Amino acid sequence: MSTIIGESRMKTGFTYDVQALQNLLGSIIQRHVSSDTWNWMIERITAAIGTSAFNTAFAAMPRKTGKAFIQLNDEEKNQLQSLRPGLIINNWSIDRLARVWLLLHIDPSDEEKYFRSIDHLFLAAEMNELVALYSALPLLSYPERWRKRCADGIRSNIGDVLQAIMCNNPYPSEQLDEKAWNQLVLKAFFTEKPVDEIIGLDERANQELANILSDYAHERWAAGRTINSLLWRCVGKFINTSIFPDIQRIAKSENETERKAAALACYDSNYEPAKKLLDTMPSIKSAIEKAELNWQTFAQK
């Protein structure tokens, strides 16, 4: 059975226009590889999923495409967000993109075969292959089928794999349950990933996560270690009597970054003592109200 998804064939299980995304990613790839490499790739998408030819092509991609980082123009970035909101590929290498593009041509009409074949790739993958596979999660058919695989990936100790799952990837925020989501955010702080690149960080914030991060902060303080002040971004909306002393502590810090984090957390809060604490920091409060300071600008400093 051909793995190419024809225009007339139902796009089983996809939540977006997969044909349009194939075309967009294909045009980006063509601009970054030789004509011989592109022809080789076209030939490989006719290989039946699960066969040695397909699996070999997936593994061999870096040798054919190289590993240079891709360059996108503004139109391509806008098209990508229109087709698959939240997906950011600006920092991808060409072999990573080519592997994801290859996966998009797998016929999803047999759900179990589709799932088993891609899951097998996860089981046999080396690090860079795992990066591509986890990067592809928001693009795969039957998105609910990959929740366990994503949750399992969060337990990885491989930094590049974790970053592929956590950063600029809309799949976790869309599909993970609260427990797995909270584990992802906590591990992002623990492994010092760029937390501001976690999609859905504000929308998926919850009281249990705030409690977990408060406990984590106490552990770091007890060990004399520093804390990424973006942690309080996930806490502000859930400040209560038990968390408020943490905010008071950083509000009194000699570190300006911590004081700004305290003010931003208080600004997000409906807890009355937090609102009163914000009033004691008038210059920072003014910057927030003028939109000169927010969590996005805070993360960039």
Mean pLDDT over 115-139 rounds to 96
Spans of all domains in the chain: 18-143, 226-299
The model carries a pTM of 0.92
Asked whether the predicted pLDDT for residue 226 surpasses 50, the reply is yes
Least confident of 54-63, 144-153, 173-182, 248-257: 54-63
Question: Is the CB of residue 197 less than 8 Å from the CB of residue 167?
Answer: yes
pLDDT bucket at 1, cuts 50 / 70 / 90? very low
Neighbours of 179 (CB within 10 A): 11
Task: Quote the CA–CA distance of 46 and 223 in Å, as a whole number.
Answer: 56
Q: What is the rounded CA–CA span in Å between residue 96 and residue 113?
A: 23
Q: What is the pLDDT of residues 20-38, one digit of tens each?
A: 999 999 999 999 999 999 9
Radius of gyration of the chain (CA): 22
- The answer on pLDDT for 199 being more than 80 is yes
| Confidence (pLDDT) at 48 | 55
Q: Are 247 and 273 in contact (CB under 8 A)?
A: no
Question: For residue 140, is pLDDT > 80?
Answer: yes
Please give the average per-residue pLDDT across 275-281, as a whole number. Answer: 98
Q: Which residue has the tokens 């492994």?
A: 191
- What is the four-CA torsion angle of 278, 282, 287, 293, rounded to 10 degrees? -30
